[in-house]
């Protein structure tokens, strides 16, 4: 399988991938460890909120999205070098047990590093979408990727 480098990235490129079934057990386990708010742990507590029923933590939605992103990178090998961070993260709709999630990405921009010619930077938008084709989460993230031919100017 060929390795994808900076030169292979095309602004506007889109991908759709992943399938993640959200379970009640995982929602409550994640919440009990990392976000122990009542509406993530109890049907009764959630019924008293705008969620109406048990919902996943937004941070859990991030983790499930990350899993699908990494699984996709295993299928499409990328000379990735991690991420310096996220510019924008929005939880748009609640995620509930029983939801089935997928991800759509779009490459927004890319540029070469001025100080490190072997390094490229890119920005992409990721949308996490449920089985009703509703966007439940959106983020714009920054990525680092190796340049195949650092001696060639762009």
User: For each of the chain's 154 residues, which pLDDT tens digit applies?
Assistant: 568 889 999 999 999 999 999 999 999 999 999 999 999 999 999 999 999 999 999 999 999 999 999 998 876 677 778 899 999 999 999 999 999 999 999 999 999 998 998 899 999 999 999 999 999 999 999 999 999 887 776 5
Q: How far is CA 11 from CA 103, 107, 116, in A?
A: 18, 5, 21
pLDDT score of 69: 92
Check: CB of residue 129 under 8 Å from CB of residue 103.
yes
Q: What is the pLDDT of residue 73?
A: 80
How many angstroms separate the most distant Cα atoms in the chain? 62
**Does the global pTM surpass 0.75?**
yes
Domains in the chain, CATH or no CATH each: 6-146 (3.10.129.10)
| β-pair type (100-112, 85-91) | unpaired
Contacts 24+ apart (CB under 8 A), 21-28: 21/99, 21/100, 22/56, 22/64, 22/95, 22/96, 22/97, 22/98, 22/99, 22/100, 22/101, 23/97, 24/54, 24/97, 24/98, 26/60, 27/54, 27/55, 27/56, 27/57, 27/60, 27/97, 28/54
């Amino acid at each position: 399988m060929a390795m994808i480098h900076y030169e292979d990235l095309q602004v506007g490129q889109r991908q759709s991938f992943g399938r993640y079934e959200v379970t009640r057990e995982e929602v409550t386990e994640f919440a009990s460890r990392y976000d122990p708010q009542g509406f993530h742990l109890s049907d009764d507590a959630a019924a008293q909120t705008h969620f109406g029923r048990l919902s996943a933590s937004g941070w859990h939605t991030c983790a499930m999205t990350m899993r699908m992103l990494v699984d996709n990178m295993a299928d499409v090998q990328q000379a990735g070098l991690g991420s310096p961070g996220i510019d924008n993260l929005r939880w748009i709709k609640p995620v509930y047990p029983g939801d089935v999630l997928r991800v759509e990405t779009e490459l927004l921009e890319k540029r070469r590093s001025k100080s490190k010619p072997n390094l490229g930077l890119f920005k992409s938008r990721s949308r996490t979408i449920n089985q009703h084709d509703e966007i439940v989460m959106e983020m714009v993230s920054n990525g680092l990727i190796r340049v195949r031919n650092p001696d060639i100017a762009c």
